[in-house]
Amino acid sequence: MKIWVDGDAAPREAKEVIFRTAKRLQIETILVANQRLAVPINTSMVSCVIVKPHANAADQHILQAAAAGDIAITADIPLAAQLVERGVYVIDPRGEEYHADNIASKLSMRDFMDGLRGSGEISGGSAPYSPRDKKAFAQALDRLSTAANRQKKL
């Protein structure tokens, strides 16, 4: 089991949680980004893969490398949908879990909102990352890493 992180958009606070989890549970963790990212020097469990700086390069790398039973962290819902289809556990940096029961509706809502933004009906982005988001993410990552470890042992 590995943890794959869509590193370009992951908040610093979420990365801190990921690094602690990787070290504590000894899970290989790979940040994928189109630029160099800081990784902790006190653990060999975390590494960074730098991809070419073009749209969706990090997504494509994660999609090709992740295997069933791995955990992926991304806010990219189309990527999440493809990973869920492949049996990867997926959460976003705010702690929302994507799975077979909810990914179709999440993808549909994303497309709907994208259409509204494109037509000028709504503007703005996500709210700032909060301590509440960090806590929800930490709890979701702990829950998924426990489930993935249990599945691995079967």
Share of the chain above pLDDT 90, in %: 60
Q: Which two tokens stand for residue 57?
A: 């390069």
Residue 50, H or E segment: strand 46-50
Please tell me the distance from the alpha carbon of residue 44 to that of residue 30, in angstroms, as a whole number.
Answer: 11
Model confidence pLDDT, tens digit, residues 19-64: 999 999 999 999 999 988 888 887 889 999 999 988 889 999 999 9
Please give the tally of structural domains in the chain.
1
How many Å apart are CA 53 and CA 55, to the nearest integer? 7
Question: The domain that contains 142 carries what CATH number?
Answer: 3.40.50
Q: Tell me which residue range forms the domain holding 99.
A: 2-149
Distance from chain centroid for Cα 74: 3
* 154 belongs to a structural domain: no
